[in-house]
Amino acid sequence: MINWLVSCFVVIGLATNIVLGQPFIDRSLGFFSSTDKSRYSGRSIDFVDRSMNGNWQQRSAAANAERAQWKLSHRFQGGWEYDSNIFESSSRRAATGSGRFLLNTRGDRRSTRWQAHYNYSAALQAYNGYRQENKLSHDLSGSLGARLQPWLHLSAQAGGTLKFYLENAADYGTTSGQVAASFFLPHHLTAELSGETGQLDYAVTDLYDFTFDGAELTLRRPLAANGSVEMALNRRELRYKRRALNYTSKQGLFPGPLAQREALTTARVAMTYGRKVVMQLAAETQRNRSNSFGYDFNRFRVSGLLGFRPAPGWMLRAAALVQKKRYRDDLSRFNLRDLDTEREQSNFLVVDLSRDLSAEISAVARAAFYDNESTVPGVFYHKTIFFTGVEIRL
């Protein structure tokens, strides 16, 4: 199955090269994704990179002259990374360096009534002395949208991720899709209704696999010329393949007859402002209810993003998140495991500084600090990452 999926990615890449006349290259281990754990958060933290247009986005004269042509940008990033806790463990810490390489391509095509977008990444990470952590990641996403009426816009998005551990049987894949209708209302207000679906599938076990369906209502309004405010309400139903856990004082923990089901409700408000200095602040509250013992929780998160050019040729970007999470059950006596550690990112600060050496080449340095919840609920691990390398805009 995994080999078949890899073949599909290769065929898609070759087809794109033929149709567009351009190499088909990813986003998965790009700017802020040092731990690759924000896939299901609903908001990507490469916002600053997109909003500031890019020190790597290319616009040809022909593309500017004809709006319906593809606008393509490509980059290669390579360098050395130090990781203080490669196993993300609260007790078994191991530090080492790794080579980290990224190829990415993205493209947009727009007309007065419709637009299309794609983003593909391929990333490789090779550790010194810990071959079981060597990994290769492919990440592909795309979207189509059309404005059917002055007051109505319809869109569809789809994406997938394949992550391969080259010396370890921990491979997994994810897929997701969304359809949305945006309504342009008086007073510059936009209302968006969307439905979503997705899944996670590990190659060698069903313990962490799940599917989900959800719906979201989002309201947006611009703030003057350089900002906007957004409010969103999301409801997501998750279905796991493993059985839910029951607990009694006599029997302790034991698997019940039903498969685990969860309902996650998220309310979010965010404000974005600036052009030369881009900022975003967001607050989010979540309520998760499960038919399995130990998985009910309430969570509150605050996040911030910042990007600006402190001097000509320099770019500074930063992202931070803090959270407070409370479980309904007392888990101190139990050794439960989170069903999907890839969804959990608790507290972090990431700072990225780049310096343009030429129109096509930049030097990049990154520092990241994490205090994340481990696979054991309520137990945290600490992690520090330093990266230095170069970025080439192809």
Is the pLDDT at 361 greater than 60? The verdict is: yes
Q: What would the pLDDT profile of 177-235 be if each residue is shown by its tens digit?
A: 999 999 999 999 999 999 999 999 999 888 889 999 999 999 999 987 789 999 999 99
**SS3 call for 3:** helix
Is the pLDDT at 10 greater than 50? The verdict is: no
- What's the CA gap between 326 and 375, in Å, rounded? 15
Q: What's the rounded mean pLDDT across residues 374-379? A: 78
Options 1.10.3210, 2.40.160, 3.40.50, 2.60.40; CATH for 2-393 is: 2.40.160
Q: Which helix (H) or strand (E) holds 83?
A: strand 70-83
**What φ, ψ does residue 7 adopt, rounded to 5°?**
-60, -40
- Any idea of the CA torsion for 58, 64, 69, 73, to the nearest 10 degrees? 10
Domain boundaries, the chain: 2-393
- What's the CA gap between 294 and 242, in Å, rounded? 14
User: What is residue 219's predicted lDDT score, i.e. its pLDDT?
Assistant: 98
Window from 3-17, 18-32, 168-182, 369-383 with minimum mean pLDDT: 18-32
Is the pLDDT at 21 greater than 80? The verdict is: no
